[in-house]
Amino acid sequence: MGTYYEELQRARKFLRIHNIADADVDAWYLLAHVLGINRADFFMLRETLFPEDKLQILDNLLKKRVMHIPLQHIIGCQEFMGFTFEVNEHVLIPRQDTECLVEEVLKICHNKSVLDLCTGSGCIIISLTKLGSLKSATGSDISDKALITAKRNANRLNTEVEFLHSDLFDNIEGVYDIIVSNPPYIPTKEIKELMPEVRDFEPITALDGSSDGLLFYRNIIASLNRYLKKGGYIFFEIGHNQGMDVSNLLLKEGFIEVSVKKDLSGLDRIVSGKRP
């Protein structure tokens, strides 16, 4: 049994030996989770002996991580847009790329009605509600278990969001100023090439976009004129090589002001358009 600092170094080494991506970062988060401390606490207490009863807990979590169970599933949460969201095996883990989508919608969503299709953990619509002064907020998903998670996130973050069980627009009524979606967009044949943390532990229904990855975009865009107000906007998260394809789908449906925005890595990540 060593000090906080020594046990952190041991955890980092253990994860590195097992070729875990971001081993140093993950070791820190696991240690902080077990001890219930932040970085300031750690630097003050780095020479403190690690509690013996907590050491076995840390070791068990490290063993889970080397099985490629995602860090976020182990600690049960993920930061997104400055908020902490509960995550589990029923929802896609919120990613930094998706923050770019939220930031684009925030530019125009004040006092607007917003529908988030394929809401998952609810991170998009809840963040928009917290930061965007929406007129109304609705999130939908085909997964009942995902919706349970989204509702817990909304309640914990004290936000008013209506969550609906719906296969895309099947149970949606009314029209909206803005529709936003991060749908499944990975081509089926590419699923097997994903990192095991994603391939084996995140819900396949949140990943698989059929043979070319465009099935959900086609289905959503085909119904937009029924559910999006005239002058309303659609925002999609996309795969890095899907900008032209999704843009063309919108243009063929008569949408205007169609544009592609990049993420922080310089990759195409968002397609948006306006219903004339």
Enumerate the known binding-site residues.
141, 182-185
Name residues whose C-beta falls within 8 Å of residue 212's C-beta, 6 or more positions apart in sequence: 187, 245
Measured CA to CA, the distance from residue 59 to residue 57 in angstroms comes to 5
DSSP code at position 262: E
CA dihedral 259, 260, 263, 267 (to 10 degrees): -160
Per the annotation, binding residues for S-adenosyl-L-methionine are 141, 182
- DSSP-assigned letters across all residues of 69-84: --HHHHHTEEEETTEE
Neighbours of 262 (CB within 10 A): 13
Q: Is 49 helix (H, G, I), strand (E, B) or coil?
A: strand
Fill in the DSSP letter of residue 167.
Answer: S
Query: Which residues are part of a known binding site for substrate?
Result: 182-185
